[in-house]
Amino acid sequence: MSIKLEQVTKVFGAQRVLDDVSLTIAEGEFFVVLGPSGCGKSTLLRLISGLEPLDGGRIEINGREVASSDQHLPPEARGVGVVFQSYALWPHMSVASNVAFPLETAGKTKAEITRRTDECLATVELTRFAERKPADLSGGQRQRVALARCLAQGASTILMDEPLANLDPHLRGAMEEELSAFHKASGATTLFITHDQREAMALADRIAILWEGRLLQADAPEVIYRRPNNRQVAGFIGQGAIATVAVLGSEGDQAHIRLGGCDFTVSALPGTPTGTAALLLRPEDLEIGAADARLTGRVGRTVYRGGFHEAEITLPGSETPLLARVPTKPQAGAEIGVSIRSGWVLPA
Ligand code: ADP
Ligand code: MG
């Protein structure tokens, strides 16, 4: 129940929409592809589901080659279920009939269809809505019908293209929890596509960052956030700033760095060389106004974020202002003591 892509390439006209994309999604994994609009996410999903042929590389699903330069299995032969951003439900059919549809098409017996439909509706907790029409459901409930229909197909591999993008923000949080529960209950290998990093962080076992058709990094959410491979990932995910520092030496996954004339210990790849490097500082890496502060920064713009203020602080040597969280609003232009508690040296 795994998905494997090797050097997958897709070209539209003169545009290389996917360029040399390789990744492996493990059985039962919830794998999220995250990237800005237009980076090739939907194209990736269409190649895996078989809606689009590829131009280079190969795709395996459950150990079977489904696409390569001389192979293109049609979508129905790939055993994957797809859930799109628009739910694509039949408006004139009841919830139960929508879910039963793939079972009927597959020519199952009436008893079998009823049993499976009931099971799938129970998994998404829609049993009491079985006789309603899609129009009489909330957006979140409609999305659950689409999930149940996907389950009814018997798909152990599910692809989802921004399924929460059409929902109201307050519903999205609830649907994220439901998707997680659904994933646990079904055990399906899931490829979930989104441009929303908060959603990706909340759902993913692993996140792959797709950028202009190239895969920049695929790792657990904490690793993507704390230890990005490069500036693009660091800048795309979360908040933070990059300072130019001198690496004085390293031991294991720690590096000793100098910034603004002071020495600090931060995280780094083992074997990080000495010399000039870029240090990523997230807001939580900085402590402001501590008694032992060794650096002095200048306060710029401050924004209230609910519970704390986020202040831009310029340190000597920082390329862009650092973002720090402070409990009380500091005076713009004031000088303020800054301590660096952690950080990540970006790999060269
Ligand atoms: P995303 O889902 O990340 O927003 P898409 O995969 O839909 O991105 O599109 C990636 C790029 O490929 C875009 O520049 C888009 O215009 C282009 N593209 C997608 N489908 C086609 C197509 N059928 N013909 C030509 N260009 C396409
Ligand atoms: Mg898309």
For residues 205 and 221, give the distance between their C-alpha atoms in angstroms, rounded to a whole number.
Answer: 7
What are the residue ranges of CATH 3.40.50.300 in the chain? 3-226
CATH number given to 3-226: 3.40.50.300
Residue 211's DSSP bridge partners are 214
How many whole angstroms from 58 Cα to the centroid of ligand 2?
A: 21
Poorest-pLDDT segment among 28-37, 135-144, 225-234:
135-144
**Range 2-29 average pLDDT:** 97
247 close to 257: Cβ distance less than 8 angstroms = yes
Per-residue confidence band for 120, with pLDDT thresholds at 50, 70 and 90:
confident
**Range 104-122 average pLDDT:** 91
Ligand 1 pocket, mutate which of 11, 12, 18 (most atoms under 8 A from CB)? 12
Longest dimension (CA), the chain: 77
Global confidence as pTM: 0.88
Residue tagged 């269409």 (tokens): 46
Q: Is residue 76 within a helix (H) or strand (E), and if so which, with residue range?
A: none
Residue tagged 């692993």 (tokens): 206
Please tell me the predicted confidence (pLDDT) of residue 86: 67
42 touches ligand 1 (CB under 6 Å): yes
23 close to 70: Cβ distance less than 8 angstroms = no
Helix (H, G, I), strand (E, B), or coil: what is residue 44?
helix
Indicate the average pLDDT of the chain.
91
